[in-house]
Amino acid sequence: MLGFRNALLAGVVALAGLAHAQSVTDELSNGEVRKVDKENARITLKHGPLNNLDMPGMTMVFKVGDDAMLDAVQAGDKVRFRAEMVDGKIVVTKMEAVR
C-alpha cells in the first residue's frame, strides 16, 4: 500500500513540475502582420501554432497589451510574438518584428 501511495505521490509531483515548466516558458510564436488597428489597440496576425493556447495556425484579430507595440510594426511585417489568455481574452503580451 505504501508503494502505491508513493507512486501516486510521485505522479502528482511530476504533473506539478510539468505545469510549472509550461507556465514559466516564454516561447514566442511566428506571425505575419495583416492589419494594424491603432484606434482599437488590435492587430490582425496570420499566426503559426500557439502551443500555450492550444491553437492551430490561423489568421485572427488580437488585442495588444500595450498600444506602443503597434507603433513598431506594420502590415506585411514578420513578427515573433507571445499571446496569452488574460481575463478570458487573448492578448498579445510581447511582439518583435523579424528583420
Positions in the binding site for Cu ion (CB under 5 A): 55, 58, 60
In the complex with Cu ion, the residue whose CB is nearer, 62 or 73, is 62
In the complex with Cu ion, the residue whose CB is nearer, 13 or 53, is 53
Residue 58 CB, shortest distance to Cu ion, in Å, is 4
In the complex with Cu ion, the residue whose CB is nearer, 58 or 85, is 58
Q: Report the alpha-carbon distance of residue 45 to residue 33 in Å, rounded.
A: 5
SS3 helix, strand, coil % of the chain, rounded to 5? 30, 45, 25
Residue 33 CB, shortest distance to Cu ion, in Å, is 14
> How many angstroms from the chain centroid is the CA of residue 99?
21
When CB distances to Cu ion are compared, the closest residue is 60
Residue 16 CB, shortest distance to Cu ion, in Å, is 29
Q: Distances in Å between the alpha carbon of 78 and those of 1, 25, 33, 84?
A: 56, 22, 6, 19
